[in-house]
Amino acid sequence: MSEEAAGARGRVLVVGATGRLGGSLARASLAAGHPTFALVRPHRLARPDSPSLRALVAAGATLVEGSLEDYQSLLKAVRQVDVVICAEPTKQALEQKPLIRAIKEAGCVKRFIPSEFGLDPTKVQIGDMAYGFYEKKIEIRHLIETEGIPHTYICCNFFMRYLLPSLVQPGLNAPPRDEMKIFGEGNTKGVFVKEGDVAQFTICTIEDTRTLNQTLYLRPPGNICSMNELADLWEMKINKSLKKIYITEEQLLKEIVDAPFPLKMDLIFIYSAFVKGDHTYFEIDLLSEGTQLYPHVKYTTVGEYLDTLV
């Protein structure tokens, strides 16, 4: 039996709650009945009418002043809760170090969910190409485990709002209507999950003993697609055939070398997912996969998402 069945819902602190993912996490936490606190920087609290803060307060969140740069504010916030979830961007991943220190000192946190929410950094095969993107996450994992912090890692692969709105066509803001680039042979599968769904699955884990000190993978059926499958799906929806332009692995690697930032990173992540197969090349235990553990969570499929783009 999960801990949540044994009593009142745990108190949750969301760090980064004014961001898209953080806001989704706070709302999902509140919807699940958890008293939910949002760590908000002083300069943001000075503008209480901002849409992100208004939305949090309207949903029932308690705003707590503090920041990752102010250790005492972190410690004070952490001491009020049972669960800490961090949704800071990956480029700020190492800024979680004081937060981990505060969790260790406070001694009351039963679960920490660090800012991962992407590919499993320990499984990525292109780490040496990614400009330290995954090394930071691995460093944070090592610190969490060294300090003995109870944790769950969430590996959800791509958010739907990244790459999917263009059907994985870098530089486009909408799906193609005439021709489509297919990277590699087009059969390697990537995974897309909507942010709000990631948040719901995440909140399901926080008082579940099955996910304690484990990794939760999200590979929802209907959200695991190759580029060829994406093209077929889109052609059916627009009732039109697309011209397919196949970009070989060698061509893509050359494009990566020549591309400026941030296009370079988009191409690296495409190479990782749809050529090297970093989302799906490895097997996972069914008891590590979100839709298997939490079949009640209703999630948006890739097909349903594409319906909104037609």
Answer yes or no: is pLDDT of 5 > 70. Answer: no
Residue type, 134: Y
Tell me: the pLDDT tens digits for 28-66?
A: 999 999 999 999 999 999 888 899 999 999 999 999 999
Phi-psi region of 261 (alpha: psi -120 to 50; beta: other; left: phi over 0): beta
Which H/E stretch holds residue 204? helix 195-205
Residue among 150, 127, 148 nearest 137 (CA)? 127
Q: What's the Cα-to-Cα distance from 174 to each of 164, 167, 233, 262, rounded to whole Å?
A: 9, 8, 15, 18
Verdict on whether the full-model pTM lies above 0.75: yes
Q: What is residue 48's predicted lDDT score, i.e. its pLDDT? A: 84
- Beta-carbon neighbour count of residue 206 at 10 Å? 26
Angle at 118 between CA 109 and CA 154, to 5 degrees: 30
**Helix, strand, or coil (residue 266):** helix
Residue 2 reports pLDDT greater than 50 = no
Region 280-298: mean pLDDT is: 97
- Nearest CA to 95 out of 192, 178, 16 is that of 16
Instruction: List the catalytic residue out of 136, 137, 181, 194.
Output: 137
Who contacts 195 (Cβ-Cβ below 8 Å, separation ≥6)? Answer: 20, 21, 24, 159, 160, 161
Backbone angles phi, psi at 12, to 5 degrees: -120, 135
Q: Which residues have C-beta within 8 Å of that of residue 243, sequence separation ≥ 6?
A: 178, 179, 180
Confidence category of residue 8, pLDDT binned at 50, 70, 90:
confident
What b-and-e string marks burial along 127-144, b requiring 16 or more CB atoms within 10 Å of the CB? bebbeebbbbbebbbebb
Amino acid at 198: V
DSSP, collapsed to helix, strand or coil, labels residue 92 as helix
Query: What is the C-alpha radius of gyration for the chain, rounded to an integer number of angstroms?
Result: 20
- The tens digit of pLDDT for each residue in 76-119 reads 999 999 999 999 999 999 999 999 999 999 999 999 999 999 99
Q: What is the mean pLDDT of the chain?
A: 96
pLDDT tens per residue, range 239-257: 999 999 999 999 999 999 9
Band of the pLDDT at 6, cuts 50, 70, 90?
Answer: very low
DSSP 8-state secondary structure symbol assigned to residue 4: G
The rounded distance, in Å, linking the Cα atoms of 84 and 113 is 6
278-291 as b/e, with b when 16 or more CB fall inside 10 Å? bbbeeebeeebbbb
pLDDT in tens, 165-215: 999 999 999 999 999 999 999 999 999 999 999 999 999 999 999 999 999
List alpha helices for 248-288, DSSP H. 249-258, 263-274
In the numeric block, which tokens belong to residue 26? 């706070």
- Between strands 83-86 and 12-15, the pairing is parallel
Structure tokens at 31: 């919807």
As a whole number of angstroms, the distance between CA 59 and CA 5 comes to: 24
Residue 33's pLDDT is what?
97
Is 244 annotated as catalytic?
A: no
